[in-house]
Structures are given as structure tokens and as C-alpha cells.
Amino acid sequence: MNILFLADPLDSFKTYKDSTFAMMREAARRGHQIWACEQDDLVWQHGGKVQALSRQIELTGHADPWFKVRQESVVVVADLDAVVMRKDPPFDAEYLYTTHLLTQAEREGARVFNSPHALREHPEKLAILEFPQFTAPTLVTRNIDAVRAFHATHQDIILKPLDGMGGTGIFRVPADGLNLGSIAETLTRDGTQTIMVQAFLPAIAQGDKRVLVIDGEPVPFALARIPQGGEVRGNLAAGGKGVAQPLSESDWHIARTLGPILAARGLLLVGLDIIGDKLTEINVTSPTCFQEITQQAGFDVAARFVDALEAKISA
């Protein structure tokens, strides 16, 4: 198969932990041809089809350089066997436009994973609103008075922007309410930008668990990202320590409930974030933690993903 990965610049990959690299490596090991492009490489023109200036790459097996370019050419996206959408957030206007171009490519016959329509319909933090039975008390607002009222009720809260990743812009305000006004004003840009506020979950001390779900089936190990050094954030990008562990009973329940629903909507790969027994986010853009789980637990996540991708393409 010819597989196009739409991702961030290849030179920015940290291959020792990058999940997109793990996908590419496994696909290449099976003999598939690997192509790569970025958002600004997509083009559509009247009378034609969606095209992408793409590089066909070969993995070197070394850390640096980890790839070499075999050829660079403009390809019709629908002529490839699969497109794997792996562009990291932020989910900004350009990301949205990219999903629309990919939807057009689908009309022309392309197979895109995750589905661009599903990406648009499942913003990663807001997607949990559909499943309140699994979530902690949550508020979505840009009204600062509503934030103050939520804090008065729940005392210890977390505030975060809707378009962040890797733990950026996350604040905890405990019962003393110190700096609540300043934080709320900053995150909402004085009441003009919507944010999410959640009750603080003490179980974060045991880790913010990333549970991967591939074509509706949970990976049996999660990566618990445990905060370090007084941090409230467990994200690896914020210095959290990743520890692979078997799914708990509640992890299995949440993943098995949501998995088939999300898979039916075109989400081949989903990353559920769970603290204790509470669902906090549904990651659909570029879920990570493949390599950490594989290295620590011995479960080959990339192989499971490529199995699912091959099955979708051959169906």
C-alpha cells in the first residue's frame, strides 16, 4: 500500500517516542510505501482533485537522519491507498480548513483516518460532554462569574483552554481561590474565549491515564502519566513520568462503552484520558504513547494499529 502521513515537519520528530514514527516504521516493515506531507502541501483547483506535494521516504534505521527522501512529487490524494491524519493541535482555523480539503479528497475516493468529518465533530476537550456519566463535574463557559460560582461550589478546580495540548495553559485553583480572577480573565481573554473548568481530581497523583482505542478495541495497557516535582499536570510534555499499567476495571468499562460508538463514526484511533475513574478528554487528532506502552508492557501498539488500517483498506 501507499500510505500518506499528513503530519508535522519530519525534522521535528523525536523518533525515540513519536507515535507517528512508530506507525511509519511498522508500515514500512510490512513493505508499505511511506509518503509524508504537511498541511500547506494540500491544494485543490477547479476541474481537478485534491493534491499534495509529498515526499516518499525510506526509513534509515538510524536516529539521525532517521529518513531519506526517495522522491518528491505532487500526488492525487485519492490515488493513494490511505491517508493517516496525524497533525498535532492546535485545532485552529487552518486545521479546520485541512479537514475540509480532506473531506473533498474523500468525495474523490480517498480513505482518510481518522475521518476528517469525525475530527471536526469531536474537539478533544468538548467531546466528553456527550458522556457525562463518566466525567467529573465540568463547566464550559467564557463567563467569569460562572467560573467563580463553579469554584465556590467545588472549591478545588482545574481551568484549561479548549485548544491546548501537552498540558499547556492548565491551572489549578484550590479552595483559597488565590488568583482565580486573574487566571479566569487571562484564559478567557476577559470573557471573549470559552474555556473548560473541572473539579480537581486527587487521583491525578496516581497518574493521568492514556487509554488507546483502535477500531473500537481498547489496548490492554494504559500509560499513566504521573506528575513530578510538585506539578499538577501529568502530561509527558510537562515533565510527567509515564508508567505503563494494565487497564483497571473502570478503564475497561469506559473504553468498551465509547470504543464502538467512536469507531462507527470513523475514528480509527482514539486516546481516552482518564484520571481515577473519570474521563477527562477524548483525543482524536494525534493520540500518542505508542512507544512507551510497547517498551514497558511488551504490547506492540503500532502493529495493532497497522493491522486495523490494513483491515479497513482491504474491506
Q: Which residues lie across from 157 on neighbouring strands? A: 173, 199
**Active-site choice (55, 87, 111, 225):** 225
Q: Give how far Cα 37 sits from Cα of 93, 96, 303, Å.
A: 19, 17, 22
**Active-site choice (233, 235, 292, 304):** 233
How far apart CA 294 and CA 254 sit, in angstroms, is 22
**Active-site choice (273, 278, 292, 304):** 273
**Active-site choice (55, 86, 87, 210):** 210
Is 233 one of the annotated active-site residues of the chain?
A: yes
Is 68 one of the annotated active-site residues of the chain?
A: no
**Active-site choice (278, 283, 292, 304):** 283
For residue 232, give every residue at least 6 positions away whose Cβ sits within 8 Å of its Cβ, in sequence order, or none: 158, 170, 172, 204
Q: Which of 83, 84, 74 is nearest to 49 (CA)?
A: 74
**Active-site choice (106, 163, 281, 292):** 281
**Active-site choice (86, 87, 111, 160):** 160
Cell 469507531 identifies what position? 263
**Active-site choice (111, 125, 278, 304):** 125
Is 210 one of the annotated active-site residues of the chain?
A: yes
Is 283 one of the annotated active-site residues of the chain?
A: yes
Q: Catalytic residue numbers?
A: 125, 160, 210, 225, 233, 273, 281, 283
